[in-house]
Amino acid sequence: MKQQSKGISQARSRSSGTEARHATGDDRSRSSQAAKTLLQQWAEAVEGYFGQLPARYPAAPPRLVEAVQYSLMAGGKRLRPALVLECWHACQRANSIHDRAPTHSPAGINPGATPKGAPLAAAAAMELIHTFSLVHDDLPAMDDDDLRRGRPTNHKVFGEAMAILAGDAMVTMAFELICTDAEPALAATLVRELASATGPAGMIGGQVLDIDEVKRPENLEELQTLHRMKTGALLTASCRMGAVAASATPHQLASLDRYGRHLGLAFQIVDDLLDQTATPEQMGKATGKDAAKGKMTYPMLLGLEEARRQAGQQLASALNSLDGFGVEADGLRAMAHFVVERNV
Amino acid sequence: MKQQSKGISQARSRSSGTEARHATGDDRSRSSQAAKTLLQQWAEAVEGYFGQLPARYPAAPPRLVEAVQYSLMAGGKRLRPALVLECWHACQRANSIHDRAPTHSPAGINPGATPKGAPLAAAAAMELIHTFSLVHDDLPAMDDDDLRRGRPTNHKVFGEAMAILAGDAMVTMAFELICTDAEPALAATLVRELASATGPAGMIGGQVLDIDEVKRPENLEELQTLHRMKTGALLTASCRMGAVAASATPHQLASLDRYGRHLGLAFQIVDDLLDQTATPEQMGKATGKDAAKGKMTYPMLLGLEEARRQAGQQLASALNSLDGFGVEADGLRAMAHFVVERNV
């Protein structure tokens, strides 16, 4: 664990704000590596929290707890909780006089940064919502997927009824955990952010647009509307929740909101590119399904080259949004690079 | 509407606390009638709120809003939101010096009792959660029902994928609306109550026990555990949320919690009795399905007579729980009678 923290500290200091903003090829790959280390650290924090969930529900049927844990602990990039925690961390450091003054580890994780309480619950709640959406999305009535993160999907293991109920349970757990772990006024704000990003005008609304076989998106604007809801809303809410948990200033909240929006679009363009170019083994799930289903994707609409160019443009805009932050946002800069340069 | 309020006022004053506690056959039927009038009044308030929901989600796909509204506006007894609002109303009146003093309408609805803000949002959120559970429960992978409240089930009209997503959307809307309409500290408490009653140790946990075909409840204790979770948790939470929204004293909260628990068991016993003895036309849904599926029910375990006696016993305990309240809980007394004496 100590080793891990040291790794992060080095990872953070390898990529300074200026470097990330005017990145060369080498800088980009270092930045991406730094992001992977950060993702791993935050993933460990969130997985530690998930590990303690069964003890918080002693009265729940064991098979339900098992089904929930099966999907929660299946790995994955943990990008959303990492965004919550990295935004929280950046705002916390930006607003702490002690941290802004030059110290021996200007870009390292300070010892007080171990998340607990509101930010950790917010991060875990976000991953619960994301995981619920995957479990329901994989159902036979929806995308009918057999494989997720390299393992059989939830309903393949526990049956369809249990997968529906396990997904439902994850949603309620997300909101309950926030209200149990955060102080009430903050909890209400976090619940509103998360519920609004998940609901009819957010992720679920986006999924409804996505399964509509009659009215497919036909141009860039319609495709972006779909993805702003389906994947963008949760990614943006991750950033907002982290900021809110750190009592960010309105300006910081607006900056991270903008960062989240651009990151969300970049994420989806790259997702579409990977769906077209990556192998199922690489992705841990079936690929090429969008095209097979006649779904519109960015590369289909724009071509591979232009799609890649637009992903880069969204990355640049995401980085620009962080201009008001100093080194404390280097982690977020690295994560933006990672989102565009990843191959999973 | 004025006519309606007068009806309620008369309904309330027809059944005084003493009458309800030592009820004869005639009193019981009057009490049941009073409850029906109350249920109708609170249903109107909640349905008015539901009617405005589409305007609150202008960015949501119209077809999703339609699917949500289809099930939300399908009628039903609206027992849970009525419990929220009647408990809120009882505590509010009990704690108001003005209302405790003898007035011209000791048991009537006072003009200030029109619910808005937190209690109305809590009532609507409770019905959203209840409705979501019905929509998912009816799915082919679950109970596979074609008929609900006398109309085709959600997935029969909108398809399975949309029914799953509409149910999911209702859950998030429930929590979002509480946090939008109630002040933050109260909202966090209400969300925790609702999420905990809905989640793995509440309703969803109970549904998991209910679909377990390997381990069926074999005795009264196991059957009660199942139903305390599957239906009892939400009924109890309805009472608790109403009390919390009215800033109830700890004693009042404990009384209404007890009332809710007994009411919940009475409700389920009567539900089992009706499933065995009522016609599908009467119920607006298929009947006799529990027995056909080999599910354990109270009448199967206890016989019809003993099941009826135990429902009466739970009613008596529910009424006893209200002893600390005066006339302001007459509506709750009437509703307890209704739950046991209903034929739908």
Q: What is the mean pLDDT of residues B27-55?
A: 91
B177 pLDDT above the threshold of 60: yes
At A29 the pLDDT is 73
CB–CB contact B205 A60 (8 Å): yes
Q: Where are the alpha helices (DSSP H) in A148-249?
A: 154-158, 160-181, 184-198, 203-211, 220-227, 233-245
B103 pLDDT above the threshold of 70: no
Looking at per-residue pLDDT, the higher value among A255 and A110 belongs to A255
B270 pLDDT above the threshold of 70: yes
Contacts of B164 in chain A (CB under 8 A): 136, 139, 141-142, 164
> Which domains can be identified in chain B, with CATH numbers?
2-341 (1.10.600.10)
The percent of residues in chain A predicted with pLDDT above 70, rounded, is: 85
A200 pLDDT above the threshold of 90: yes
| A339 burial type by CB count under 10 A (0-12 exposed, 13-18 middle, 19+ buried) | buried
**Confidence category of residue A106, pLDDT binned at 50, 70, 90:** very low
Looking at per-residue pLDDT, the higher value among A170 and B279 belongs to A170
Residues B217-247: tens digit of each pLDDT: 989 999 999 999 999 999 999 999 999 999 9
Nearest residue of B to residue A187 by CA position? B188
Q: B-contacting residues of A 93-132, CB under 8 Å?
A: 132
**Confidence category of residue B12, pLDDT binned at 50, 70, 90:** low
At A302 the pLDDT is 93
Task: Report the DSSP beta bridge partners of residue A34.
Answer: none
Contacts of B140 in chain A (CB under 8 A): 141
The answer to whether B328 and B96 have CB atoms below 8 angstroms apart is: no
B331 pLDDT above the threshold of 80: yes
At B4 the pLDDT is 40
B316 at the A interface (CB within 8 A)? no
- ipTM value for the complex: 0.89
Q: Considering only A20-24, A29-33, A102-106, B217-221, which range has the smallest mean pLDDT?
A: A102-106
Distance CA A220, CA B38 (A): 52
A12 pLDDT above the threshold of 70: no
CB–CB contact A185 B180 (8 Å): no
**Confidence category of residue A105, pLDDT binned at 50, 70, 90:** very low
Of A57, A142, A201, the CB nearest to B201: A57
Q: What is the mean pLDDT of residues A286-294?
A: 72
A111 pLDDT above the threshold of 70: no
CB–CB contact B167 A162 (8 Å): no
CB–CB contact B208 A165 (8 Å): yes
Q: Please provide the average confidence, as pLDDT, over all residues in chain B.
A: 88
Segment holding B148, helix H or strand E:
strand B147-148
The answer to whether B272 and B303 have CB atoms below 8 angstroms apart is: no
What is the number of alpha carbons within 13 Å of residue A70 lying toward its C-beta? Answer: 23
Largest pairwise CA distance in chain B: 59
At B343 the pLDDT is 78
Three-class secondary structure of residue B152 per DSSP = strand
Task: Report the gap between the CA of B215 and the closest CA in chain A (Å).
Answer: 11
Alpha-carbon dihedral sign for residues B102, B105, B108, B110: negative
Q: B-contacting residues of A 167-226, CB under 8 Å?
A: 167-169, 171-173, 175-176, 178-180, 182, 184-185, 187-189, 191-192, 195-196, 198-202, 204-205, 207-209, 211-212
Q: What is the mean pLDDT of residues A275-294?
A: 74
Residues B43-63: tens digit of each pLDDT: 999 999 999 999 999 999 999
pTM of model > 0.80: yes
At A19 the pLDDT is 42
Nearest residue of A to residue B211 by CA position? A161
Q: B-contacting residues of A 41-60, CB under 8 Å?
A: 57-60
**Confidence category of residue A113, pLDDT binned at 50, 70, 90:** low
Distance CA B222, CA B231 (A): 14
Looking at per-residue pLDDT, the higher value among A213 and B344 belongs to A213
A48 pLDDT above the threshold of 70: yes
A 10 A CB-CB count for B317 gives 17
What is the bridge-based pairing of β-strands A147-148 and A151-152? antiparallel
At B253 the pLDDT is 98
B283 pLDDT above the threshold of 50: yes
